[in-house]
Amino acid sequence: MAESNLPKGYEPWDVEKKWLDHWEENKTFTPDPEAEGDPYSIVIPPPNVTGVLHMGHALNLTLQDILCRYQRQQGKNVLWVPGTDHAGIATQNVVERQLKTEGKTRDDLGRDKFIERVWEWKEEKGGHILKQIRRMGASVDWTRECFTFDEQRAKAVREVFVKLYEEGLIYKGNYIINWCNRCHTALADDEVEHSPRPGHFYHIRYKISDGSGELIIATTRPETMLGDTAICVNPEDDRFKHLIGKTAILPLVGRELPIIGDSYVDMEFGTGALKVTPAHDMNDWELGRKHNLEVLAVFDEDGNINENAPAKYQGIFKDDARAIIVNDLKGDGCLVSIEDHEHSVGECYRCKSVIEPHVSEQWFVAMKPLAEKARAAVPGETQIFPPNWEKVYYEWLDNIRDWCISRQIWWGHRIPAWTCEECGELIVSLTDPDKCKCGSTRLSQEEDVLDTWFSSALWPFSTMGWPDQTAELAKYYPTSVLITGFDILFFWVARMMMMGIHFQDQVPFKHVYIHALVRDEHGKKMSKSTGNVIDPLEMSGKYGTDALRFTLTAFAAMGRDIKLSEQRIEGYRHFVNKIWNSARFALMNFEDQKLDASLDDARGLANEWILHRLEEVKDSMSKSIEEYRFNEVAQTMYRFIWNEFCDWYLEMIKPDLYSDDQSRKGPTLKVLWTVLSETMVLLHPVMPFVTQEIWSVLPGIENDDIATVAFPEKRDNCRNAKAVEQMELFQGIVSAVRNIRTELLIAPSKKLELIVRTSSETAQTLLNDNADLIKALARLDSVVAGPDAQGPSASGTAVVQGNEIFVPLAGAVDFESELARLDKEFGKLDKELNVIEKKLSNKGFISNAPAAVVEKEKGKLAEINDKKAKLTELKERLVSVME
């Protein structure tokens, strides 16, 4: 036997680095837009430049890479664009924290110096996640790496802003927005995370000004009452409609509040009367606009009570003011009651501070005109997988509000708008203006920057070089598919749809695949606080990237969250080893034979069956990948490689491989080479490294880079349903003998006899033709098959496809000794059972022992009962055989 060109054990780390370097140095994944092949393109969801790779990223990258590698195999001209997002708030926070350790603030540096400092940080630390993406084997085109804040993307952002402004879709105005007191910036609605928190309903007495009665109003935020400018009731509410037009006195302040009527008020919620604070509640803002109410802000940008409130409260932080105000209301006799109430509280998605509705001058995008086209494009021009996400997509677009795009930070695309200090003219321009139309050169640019998601919304076409009309844009837009998590369906996916349709007159992607969440093995969301995070880089380093990728693929069922554990990754590392060892075995046998000839002379059950199965695997792989059923891809390859190729085929062909008869050995070697080489190509999109390493040492390979090898051609002449039927019977016979041996505890070294009463001439011929193979695989001395065959009464029996199997047991099993051994084992188990049952029937033990100890004893009880049941089945089997 020849020596294998592969080391005895697979060590992934050196292999991975070698091929990552090879692919990058050779620009294997850098396509030419002028080259042949239908376009296939994906833009990577750009991770934050501050980020580190987590398991969600690992899943996302794996699935995208499977698609890209597979589509290259199909002859497509594939572009996969990598890049990162400048992550305005997150990145600025990182650098500000650095400055804090130096005793400085961004104001100490000034805007220009601070931006320089952030760029320095980005160059030094910002590429960390890109290195981690490389580790995952992502076949992206690194020559086309993009950054949402680089020069070309900045050009695109400015073009879009100016055009939308000129079309009247971007405007500036006073509006209520989500304000973070900590980050000192506005946030879009979908940047606010809502979570339930325990709180209270405070019932407050508002007296009617003319002395005719009072209104009890319930609120969760009594501190906002300082900014009340009206009370609203439902005009259909018989309890209160007579009060509409009157006024009430605002407690603690004394200001008169008009009582208005509006059907918006829910008569069943709270007390049915609503305090209206337009400056500090989104819904109240709308009511205020509708009824032309005064907008009175009583909190400043830091969350402190301002000069619009009574002097005694001014300067106090809003949360601290609540207790003071509640105490004052109690003292004035205006606090009726307090009841517990859990309510949803908005938090900043970055710093987790409570969000405060805040009225300020901001920049907005009018969303409804854009949203209508984006909604109409699904599911016609763009399909969402799984389709149940379409409903969520529709609901968000149907209820969309204008998008606040200005952020009060420095790191980001500065809004290209200038105000003339002489005449007040607002100038929005593609180039920096020198002077106003009034002739003044005193122009001041907006201090605010654009929301990070504004530049991300342009990603599918800005990465292709737009607004320049590039070859990439012409070839690869619209992109083929977007793979992303459900959590940015609104942040990003819907906005890309709107911008793509508006500026390119085409949807940005034809398919959107929403992948599931990766949870821990118990189904809990991974988080640092609970300590259940599984680090993909640690797993990759421990078990190899292929094992991690295959694990994620195996559990990536559409619409179903992944329950991940380290044990599962370790389990698939064993699968990698199985592949490696099977390749080593094959390589030891190839020697110098010509292995690229036709398969016309491939005869024999094993060869005909495996070639048929290979064709079925090709069909299954293509269908599953194209339908985004990634788990089926992994299941198909696992079953084929481990169960069929390794466990059956390699064992069945050993007699051929060890034969001196070249008429047997030669054709089998060709089949073995064909199946191994094509299986590596099929598996490559999921496991790029081990397949590449094996491929590189296969004899007869002209192209040593498997990443550029075409999907194996289909061979209809290798399909053989008859061979499959015969193989099912063959496997059934061998498995039945193995089961009898296992059930009756017959040593593997003990040779047995097999007698089969066949149900057909076909079965008889099959068994007789393959008798030597059956003997080898089932460890038999002899095989007798025929329609009149009959085994002795003391036989292990089974029926396979109507064929009766007899395994004579005389001399193979000492029945008396075995029964005696079983009786002894039963006695031992009964003693153990008695001790445990006494413990568990003891009330003192149950009530005093720790719960874990009690559960452990119950587990022992179940284990012993299970063992007794299995031994009872064995005893009954032995007795039945003896009779």
pLDDT of residue 595: 54
> Is the domain of 733 the same as that of 872?
no
| Sheet of strand 383-385, all strands in order from the earlier edge strand to the far edge | 383-385, 509-515, 479-485
Domain at 222, CATH number:
3.90.740.10
- Is 217 part of any domain? yes
Across 123-138, average pLDDT: 92
Question: 331, 356, 381: which is the final residue of a domain?
Answer: 356
Across 662-688, average pLDDT: 94
Nearest residue to 217 via CA among 259, 177, 246, 185:
259
Question: 748, 780, 808: which is the final residue of a domain?
Answer: 808
DSSP 5-33: SS-SS--HHHHHHHHHHHHHHTTTT---T
Domain at 762, CATH number:
3.30.2320
> Is the domain of 795 the same as that of 838?
no
The better pLDDT of the pair 126, 337 is held by 337
Distance CA(827)–CA(871), nearest Å, equals 12
The better pLDDT of the pair 865, 689 is held by 689
Q: How many CA atoms, within 13 angstroms, populate the side-chain half-sphere of residue 92? A: 26
Query: Cβ of 204: how many Cβ atoms within 10 Å?
Result: 23
pLDDT of residue 69: 98
Distance CA(494)–CA(400), nearest Å, equals 11
pLDDT of residue 596: 53
> Is the domain of 795 the same as that of 821?
no
Question: 781, 808, 835: which is the final residue of a domain?
Answer: 808
- Is 760 part of any domain? yes
The residues that bridge with 798 in the sheet, in sequence order, are 805
> Is the domain of 827 the same as that of 849?
yes
Instruction: Map 164-221 to HEC letters.
Output: HHHCCCEEEEEEEEEEECCCCEEECHHHEEEEEEEEEEEEEEEEECCCCCEEEEEECC
> Is the domain of 804 the same as that of 855?
no
Domain at 822, CATH number:
1.10.287
> Is the domain of 853 the same as that of 744?
no
Distance CA(803)–CA(733), nearest Å, equals 9
> Is the domain of 779 the same as that of 839?
no
Nearest residue to 497 via CA among 376, 333, 392:
376
> Is the domain of 737 the same as that of 869?
no
- Specify whether the CB–CB gap between 812 and 791 falls below 8 A: no
> Is the domain of 876 the same as that of 776?
no
> Per-residue pLDDT tens for 519-562?
989 888 888 778 899 999 999 999 999 999 999 999 999 988 99
Distance CA(829)–CA(811), nearest Å, equals 29
**Among the ranges given (173-187, 262-276, 279-293, 704-718), the one the predictor scored with the smallest mean pLDDT:** 173-187
The residues that bridge with 180 in the sheet, in sequence order, are 185, 355
Pairing between β-strand 192-208 and β-strand 335-348 as defined by DSSP bridges: antiparallel
Is 131 annotated in some ligand binding site?
no
- Specify whether the CB–CB gap between 582 and 647 falls below 8 A: no
Q: Find the angle CA(255)-CA(257)-CA(261) to the nearest 5 degrees.
A: 175
**Widest Cα–Cα separation across the chain:** 115
- Is 750 part of any domain? yes
According to DSSP, residue 647 is labeled I
According to DSSP, residue 712 is labeled P
Tell me if the bond preceding 386 is cis, omega within 30° of 0: yes
> Is the domain of 747 the same as that of 849?
no
- Asked if pLDDT for residue 4 goes beyond 80, the answer is no
Average pLDDT, the chain: 92
- Is 350 part of any domain? yes
First to last CA, the chain: 49
- Asked if pLDDT for residue 740 goes beyond 90, the answer is no
Distance CA(149)–CA(53), nearest Å, equals 21
The alpha carbons of the chain give a radius of gyration, in whole angstroms, of 37
Structural domains counted in the chain: 3
- Is 730 part of any domain? yes
pTM of the model: 0.84
- Is 231 part of any domain? yes
Distance CA(507)–CA(505), nearest Å, equals 7
Burial-class residue 285 by CB neighbours within 10 Å (0-12, 13-18, 19+).
buried
Phi-psi group of 479: left, alpha or beta (phi > 0 → left; psi -120 to 50 → alpha; rest → beta): beta
> Is the domain of 820 the same as that of 803?
no
847 lies in which domain range? 815-882
Across 496-501, average pLDDT: 98
- Is 216 part of any domain? yes
At 444, which helix (H) or strand (E)? strand 443-445
Write out the E strands in 820-872: none
- Is 791 part of any domain? yes
